[in-house]
Structure 1
Amino acid sequence: MKDAFSYSCRDCEGMEACPASVVAKTKSEVWKLMELHAQVAHNENPTDWDDGTREYLGTLIKSVSV
């Protein structure tokens, strides 16, 4: 098994109805996919996320084995 990282949008407060999730080899890749998802699905601009938001979102990235 290889280690990877995952993020599920539904784990984010206020996004419980969103079915999107990503799994990638690195946290950096997960962040890029999270940002793209936020833009496309939620019309958010990730450059507007403050440090507190980024810190919170970072806690939602989980280590997984694939």
Structure 2
Amino acid sequence: MAYTYRCKDYPGNEACPGSFTAETEAEVMKHVELHGKVAHGEDPDQWSPEDRQHVKKLIRSS
């Protein structure tokens, strides 16, 4: 099984082409955090629990 996150699915990021697929949900989350930092200038340590939960809901298994 693989897990995928598409940045454009997060509200406000519709124009972002970032997409990440990995073997585990935790690995995808690490990619999302790095992407948020590098591509969007965010500090993942400052993400609220609600923001993290929303991201996790957007990670799809295949």
- Indicate whether the TM-score tops 0.5: yes
Post-superposition CA distance 1:7-61 (Å, at most 9, x none): 0000000000000100000011000000000000000000000111111111000
* SS, match of residue 7 in structure 1: strand
1:42 to 29, 37, 40: 40
Report percent identity of matched pairs: 45
TM (norm. structure 1) is 0.92
1:9 to 4, 7, 10: 7
The code of the aligned residue for 1:42 comes to H
TM (norm. structure 2) is 0.98
State the Cα RMSD in Å.
0.4
Separation of aligned partners in 1, 2:7 and 2:46: 18
Number of residue-to-residue matches in the alignment: 62
Q: Flag structure 1 segments of 5+ consecutive residues without an equivalent.
A: none
* SS, match of residue 15 in structure 2: coil
- Compare the two structures and name the one with the higher helix fraction: 2
Question: Are 1:51 and 2:30 an aligned pair?
Answer: no
Tell me which stretches of 4 or more aligned residues in structure 1 moved more than 4 Å: none
Q: Flag structure 2 segments of 5+ consecutive residues without an equivalent.
A: none
